[in-house]
Structure 1
Amino acid sequence: MTAMVTLRPTPEKALAAYAAQVAANRAYIHSIEGPPRPGQDYWAARAAAFRPGRMPVPELGALLALAEPGDTWLDIGAGGGRFAVPLAEHVARVIAIEPSPSMREQLAGAAQEAGRTNIEIVDMAWPPDPGAAAPEGDVALAANVLYAIEDVGGFIAAMERHARRTCAVVVFDRAPSTPVPAIWHELWGSEFRELPALRELLAVLLAMGRRVRVEPLPPQPQEPRPLDDVAAEYAWMYHVRPGTEGYEEKLARFRELVARHCGAGEGLARPPVVRRYSSVISWPAERNS
């Protein structure tokens, strides 16, 4: 007998499937490199890459279409400010919520460099602890944050509680940490367990009955760059990190694999990523839904 495929899951089933995918990825990564050390700031080594101007922000136009000049925006998981700083040029206030100390440091520096005095930086994990005071805004934004959130339903519900008008999410078709399967398998000898991304998040939101608007952005071209630069920049995605056992050998092996699978000739290579495009998902912040 052929098993039935549920194309319209209940909210409970959609949320459970999302959580299971996040948990499977976490367990798999822990099996490779062990659990994170207590108090470790995961983003410390890469926080500078998330400052404004370090990478394109093609989603900005779609986000500004949701904005009004007098708005207060919550940027949840604001990182180094690549969204918060440009948004602050168009709205009255941005409250940047970020739990990583290294990211907050980069964000504060970026806001100062841009002369943006209307950005407030808040040290807070999301969702807020029950009973804890948390800021509110007209729009709650979570840009490239939800991939590894096991309780995505609780995260979304908190966004809706603290937004007066709109919730918005920026999400890729594949999680940014998703590697090229052939490179990963040759490097680690096993199949990568992907995090949820656009498809899975849409399934959750639709199952929860949210009236979503989805605006996909055109794919960003992956221009060839010097092979050594590409290998150095993307080694983190393949869990080849300084300070780990056999780092130099692993990095050399990774470089060889990038040259073979992503090489563009003349010492150049394309980034070893599988994500193709991002989308802006928005919906009304109906607090009683």
Structure 2
Amino acid sequence: PVRRGLRFSQDPGGPTRTPRRGRPYARVDRPTAGAHRPRSRRPGPGGDRPRDHGGDRGRAAGRFRPADARTRRRRIVTRGDRGAERVAAIVLAAGRSSRFGRDKLSASLKGRPVLQHVLDALAVVDIDDPVVIVGTDEQHATAIDWRAARRIRNAEPDRGLSHSLQLGWSAVMATSPPPGVVLVTLGDQPATDPTTIRRLLAEPLDPDRPILSARHADGSRNPVRLEPAAADLVAEATRDRGLGPLMDLHPDRVRELPVSGMNPDVDVPADLVALIAADWADRVRANADQVAQVRATPDEADFYAPVTRMFVVDPGRRDDPVLDALLALARPAETWLDIGAGAGRYALPIAAVASGVIALDPSSSMLEALRNGAARAGIGNVRAVEGRWPPEADTRAELGPDPVADVSLLAHVGYDVELIVPFLDAMEAAARRLCVAVMMAESPAAIAAPFWPLVHGRERIALPALPEFLELLEARGVRPEVSIVASERRRWQDRDELRAFLRRQLWTSPGSEADQRLDAAITDLTESTSDGGIQLAGTPSRDIGVVRWSPGAS
């Protein structure tokens, strides 16, 4: 049965843009005479990381002033001199990932390696052929779509970021004709934004100030655009700080382009966790915003009260492969905590073989159905607790101190939990031996996605699901065991039951124009089953993952 998450934290993503291929070189135009150029003041001292070629992160963005005072010194290079400048790009990706603990460039973020995000951002602006400086141990090589990138190996990565920069600079400047602009990016900054790259390339050239860096809200100064006049500074760079110290030492040769947003690098696993969690939260919010735009019916005090019966199943069933996988994990002397137990789909049969089950759910109607089911089946070792997760003060008082159970179970909920990291932290803290999650490859609500274009004229924004959950666990240092089972195709008893379900997924009001479109869509998108029920036509069964890991692994 489909549950609308648990709304344990805040109630309630989007497709990745496909890079386009294009011209072999991006272009940047030279300025017209008299073009205004802001000049950055000298930035203050400091910095929080020793390996940013674009400088120290964390400082406030520099202030800007007009360049009038520099007019006499500035050499303006006009379009008539040489025309549009060829752009080369360098991606620095030779680090040893020593602080990350494994090859960070192959770590997965939104289904792609970290380095792939940077290469894809360049491809969006028609740079398919960057020079990528790689290390001696390219574990990520086979996982990357390099396009036309030219890889150069840094045989001495211990010499630091500066050596990689100098290798890349020598390679791009040896081409004929040499580029007029060189864009330098870091391979471990997957949030690099094509819009920022475009803005850097669109800025006029200034040989007196040949370094142009993007200044983000988090203090990051990458990517950096270099002109040939920066060659002496590139040659002077040493160790793992790249151009950062030299940019601080020579502010008169640097311009900064203020940009919105952040561009963090991935140095340690916590950095990757933060990026995955931020993307998860963005998708949950976008999904919820979509509901707010189309909803014609308000939320009820208990969202599940009208549809509770859809979640009631026989605890003695023998045809559920997910249940079979869970029962294989149960031990007679252990207690389970079922987070989002609902009407007892898994809590009741597990209680029949375990010492006991704590069934937690925020829906009083669901818990009432669970109690009734337990009474009918003669199951007396289930304790129903009404509350949200992570537990608030009153729920915590009822549960007691952690760990509250031997096994924590999360089954078909969590998809719409915005703050997923605290949710997982609390789940792991509650378990002594094992954490188990049951999640679909797509969120349960995705079954209604084909109706959204027909009813609301827009594609449904997908919630995170099993792939994103596994990415998050792996970023947290967990190597989970995963069993994949195929679920049966979802069926409903009749058209009325399906309509009631879909109205709650599409937020239509009975009798409204949107509801009339829903009725027409049901006719178009469904088919009858052999037993007189109804199901969506042409939809395959959905894979379900049973994920298990030790609570101390994160």
Name the TM tier (shorter chain).
0.7 to 0.9
Give the TM-score normalised by the residue count of structure 1. 0.86
Aligned mate of 2:313, from 44, 47, 52 = 52
Deviations 1:236-265 (A, max 9, x none): 354255xx3635x54443232122233359
Kindly tell me: are residues 90 and 257 of structure 1, through their superposed partners in 2, closer, same or farther at Cα, counting changes over 3 Å?
A: same
Question: Unaligned regions of 5+ residues in structure 1, if any?
Answer: none
Task: Name the residue aligned to 1:107.
Answer: 370
Aligned mate of 1:43, from 304, 314, 327 = 304
After TM superposition, the structure 1 stretch with the greater mean CA deviation from structure 2, 65-74 or 261-270, is 261-270
Task: Name the residue aligned to 2:545.
Answer: 279
Tell me if 1:61 matches 2:324: yes
Kindly tell me: are residues 113 and 184 of structure 1, through their superposed partners in 2, closer, same or farther at Cα, counting changes over 3 Å?
A: same
| Secondary structure of 1:126's aligned partner | coil
Deviations 1:114-157 (A, max 9, x none): 11100001112110136933351000001011111111111111
Task: Name the residue aligned to 1:246.
Answer: 511
Task: Name the residue aligned to 2:520.
Answer: 256
Quote how far apart the aligned CAs of 1:278 are: 1.1
Q: Displaced runs of 4+ in structure 1, greater than 4 A?
A: 3-9, 34-37, 249-252, 264-269, 272-275
Give the TM-score normalised by the residue count of structure 2. 0.47
Paired residues for 1:67-146 under 5 Å: 67-129=330-392, 132-133=396-397, 134-135=399-400, 136-146=404-414
Kindly tell me: are residues 169 and 187 of structure 1, through their superposed partners in 2, closer, same or farther at Cα, counting changes over 3 Å?
A: same
Deviations 1:6-27 (A, max 9, x none): 5997111111111111111111
Task: Name the residue aligned to 2:285.
Answer: 23
Task: Name the residue aligned to 1:232.
Answer: 499
Task: In structure 2, give the amino acid aligned to 1:161.
Answer: A
Task: Name the residue aligned to 2:128.
Answer: none
- Contact persistence 1:178–1:274 (CA under 8 A): no
Quote how far apart the aligned CAs of 1:230 are: 6.0
Deviations 1:97-127 (A, max 9, x none): 1111111111111111111100001112110
More relative contact order in 1 or in 2 (CA 8 Å, sep 6+)?
1
CA distance in structure 2 between the aligned counterparts of 1:195 and 1:12, rounded to whole angstroms: 18
Tell me if 1:173 matches 2:438: no
After TM superposition, the structure 1 stretch with the greater mean CA deviation from structure 2, 145-154 or 177-186, is 177-186
Kindly tell me: are residues 215 and 76 of structure 1, through their superposed partners in 2, closer, same or farther at Cα, counting changes over 3 Å?
A: same
| Secondary structure of 1:68's aligned partner | coil
CA distance in structure 1 between the aligned counterparts of 2:544 and 2:529, rounded to whole angstroms: 28
- Contact persistence 1:75–1:142 (CA under 8 A): yes
Task: Name the residue aligned to 2:481.
Answer: 213
Task: Name the residue aligned to 2:123.
Answer: 2
Task: Name the residue aligned to 1:152.
Answer: 420
| Secondary structure of 2:353's aligned partner | coil
| Secondary structure of 2:289's aligned partner | helix
CA distance in structure 2 between the aligned counterparts of 1:160 and 1:76, rounded to whole angstroms: 12
- Contact persistence 1:21–1:196 (CA under 8 A): yes
- Contact persistence 2:339–2:411 (CA under 8 A): yes
CA distance in structure 1 between the aligned counterparts of 2:286 and 2:353, rounded to whole angstroms: 40
CA distance in structure 1 between the aligned counterparts of 2:330 and 2:534, rounded to whole angstroms: 38
| Secondary structure of 1:67's aligned partner | coil
Kindly tell me: are residues 278 and 171 of structure 1, through their superposed partners in 2, closer, same or farther at Cα, counting changes over 3 Å?
A: same
After TM superposition, the structure 1 stretch with the greater mean CA deviation from structure 2, 152-161 or 172-181, is 172-181
Kindly tell me: are residues 230 and 149 of structure 1, through their superposed partners in 2, closer, same or farther at Cα, counting changes over 3 Å?
A: same
Which structure has the bigger radius of gyration?
Answer: 2
Identity %: 31
| Secondary structure of 2:314's aligned partner | coil
- Contact persistence 1:176–1:275 (CA under 8 A): no
- Contact persistence 2:454–2:517 (CA under 8 A): no
Deviations 1:28-75 (A, max 9, x none): 1111117955x7211111112112239974311111222111110000
CA distance in structure 1 between the aligned counterparts of 2:510 and 2:529, rounded to whole angstroms: 31
Task: Name the residue aligned to 2:78.
Answer: none
CA distance in structure 1 between the aligned counterparts of 2:361 and 2:451, rounded to whole angstroms: 32
Question: Unaligned regions of 5+ residues in structure 2, if any?
Answer: 1-121, 125-186, 191-265
| Secondary structure of 2:354's aligned partner | coil
CA distance in structure 2 between the aligned counterparts of 1:102 and 1:227, rounded to whole angstroms: 23
- Contact persistence 2:437–2:546 (CA under 8 A): yes
